[in-house]
Amino acid sequence: MAVPIAVLDCDLLLYGRGHRTLDRFKLEDVTDEYLVSTYGFPRQFIYYLVDLLGASLSRPTQRSRAISPETQILAALGFYTSGSFQTRMGDAIGISQASMSRCVANVTEALVERASQFIRFPEDEATVQGLKDDFYGLAGMPGVLGVVDCTHVAIKAPNAEDLSYVNRKGLHSLNCLMVCDARGVLLSAETHWPGSLPDCTVLQQAALTSQFETELHKDGWLLGDSSFFLRTWLMTPLHIPETPAEYRYNMAHSATHNVIERTFRTIRSRFRCLDGSKGTLQYSPEKSSHIILACCVLHNISLEHGLDVWSSPATGHMEQPEEEYEQMESMDSEACRIRQELLLTHFS
């Protein structure tokens, strides 16, 4: 039986025989409004990503070499921001659903490779002081270097035997530990923790703890909620405030810590693949973790480019367990002393 020529041509385009390039879709042929509505970002941002990732996406060893970096990036952005491999989007840029999946994998890998470039704590004194000043301007809480919390992202069940990813709601998820600054820029993101682990256990085992206990910032601290233990570098709210100073401290703590909740809402609003509205991430825990981290990198890059979506309404429903943790009481006397000194010096 004769094979249609159109099918052969498509295979040549998709698999790169002869190193042909698939460039059916041209950014310059459409409006910014169309790009934002379909792929989540305007033209200049997409051009920036092409410059940033182009070399990685043109590696000769990749099967998708025939698909241009620009098209690969559009395919990945379409998935990140819609949570779907829908045929309509693939048709718009001229590739199949299978090719879209490969493009997402390639772009995700390229972004993860650059995570340390875009997600990091500042090291120079002037920028560190700027962090503290920005946080102090929110609610008068001094010495804050970042706010920390965990959020869950639903994933498919790895296998029937592995219960480590089952969270308190009986759903499979990754528990992601993140720190942000006063503008919502991520300073740390660990996206690989199994959903069964409580927040305090994630923090105990996280690289973030080693970073703060051995390297960073002896003259400041993070803010965490009551799911974490009080530490010398992590200030938590008082369980039962009694004095006016303690109430003022808790109010300032809550108002400042709220930045991380707004940041989580922003990320799931922009990257619908994480919000649960299209179902769970249909990948292994490792690949799902990389997709989440890639979205975190894009979140920071978008803020660098002035694309702030904090004013956007939150949509979807990123699955996460209800807050049923017990109050974490610290046995660290030095941490208790530091918090008491903070109360007396700044809130009395």
Express each pLDDT in 297-333 by its tens digit.
999 999 999 987 654 444 444 444 444 545 555 668 9
Residues 134 and 279 in one domain: yes
Residue 177: name the closest of 186, 185, 189 by CA. Answer: 189
Q: 8-17, 171-180, 303-312, 327-336: which has the minimum mean pLDDT?
A: 8-17
Tell me the whole-structure pTM to 2 decimals. 0.87
Residues 93 and 164 in one domain: no
Q: Rounded to an integer, what distance in angstroms lies between the CA atom of residue 32 and that of residue 41?
A: 8
Residues 151 and 254 in one domain: yes
Residues 125 and 109 in one domain: no
Average pLDDT over residues 161-177: 91
Residues 127 and 104 in one domain: no
Residues 260 and 124 in one domain: yes
Considering only residues 6 and 32, tell me which one the structure prediction assigns the higher pLDDT. Answer: 32
Q: For residue 182, give the DSSP letter.
A: T
Task: Specify if 185 maps to a domain.
Answer: yes
Residues 143 and 94 in one domain: no
Domain boundary (79, 113, 147) is at: 113
Mean of the per-residue pLDDT values of the chain: 84
Task: Specify if 259 maps to a domain.
Answer: yes
Task: Specify if 39 maps to a domain.
Answer: yes
Average pLDDT over residues 179-198: 97
Considering only residues 223 and 67, tell me which one the structure prediction assigns the higher pLDDT. Answer: 223
Residues 339 and 217 in one domain: yes
Look up the domain containing 87 and give its range.
32-57+67-113
Contact 239, 164 (CB under 8 A): no
Residues 341 and 209 in one domain: yes
Res 159: pLDDT? 79
Q: Rounded to an integer, what distance in angstroms lies between the CA atom of residue 207 and that of residue 178?
A: 11
Residues 183 and 268 in one domain: yes
Residues 192 and 91 in one domain: no
Q: For residue 219, give every residue at least 6 positions away whose Cβ sits within 8 Å of its Cβ, in sequence order, or none.
A: 143
Residue 79: name the closest of 33, 113, 39 by CA. Answer: 39
Task: Specify if 51 maps to a domain.
Answer: yes
Residues 178 and 153 in one domain: yes
Q: What confidence tens digit (pLDDT) does each residue in 66-77 have?
A: 788 999 999 999
Res 186: pLDDT? 98
pLDDT over 80 at 267, yes or no: yes
Task: Specify if 227 maps to a domain.
Answer: yes
Band of the pLDDT at 106, cuts 50, 70, 90?
very high
pLDDT over 80 at 213, yes or no: yes
Domain boundary (113, 146, 177) is at: 113
Task: Specify if 96 maps to a domain.
Answer: yes
Contact 157, 325 (CB under 8 A): no
Task: Specify if 174 maps to a domain.
Answer: yes
Residue type, 167: N
pLDDT over 50 at 103, yes or no: yes
Q: What's the sign of the alpha-carbon dihedral 285, 75, 53, 150?
A: negative
Contact 41, 78 (CB under 8 A): no
Considering only residues 318 and 264, tell me which one the structure prediction assigns the higher pLDDT. Answer: 264
Res 275: pLDDT? 85
Res 309: pLDDT? 60
The strands making up 144-154's β-sheet, listed across from edge to edge, are 186-194, 173-180, 144-154, 221-223, 234-235
Task: Specify if 289 maps to a domain.
Answer: no
φ, ψ for residue 173, nearest 5 deg? -155, 165
pLDDT over 60 at 56, yes or no: yes
Burial of 285 (0-12, 13-18, 19+ CB in 10 A): buried
Q: What six digits make up the tokens of 165?
A: 């990813």
The owner of tokens 């975190």 is 296
The pairing of strands 221-223 and 186-194 is: unpaired
Q: Rounded to an integer, what distance in angstroms lies between the CA atom of residue 43 and that of residue 41?
A: 7
pLDDT over 90 at 150, yes or no: yes
Helix (H, G, I), strand (E, B) or coil at 116: helix
Q: For residue 344, give the DSSP letter.
A: I
Query: Number of structural domains, the chain?
Result: 2
Q: Rounded to an integer, what distance in angstroms lies between the CA atom of residue 41 and that of residue 307?
A: 9
Res 86: pLDDT? 63
Contact 202, 193 (CB under 8 A): yes
Q: What angle do CA 103, 105, 109 make, to 5 degrees?
A: 115
Res 160: pLDDT? 66
Strand locations in 164-266 (E): 173-180, 186-194, 221-223, 234-235
Q: Rounded to an integer, what distance in angstroms lies between the CA atom of residue 102 and that of residue 193?
A: 25
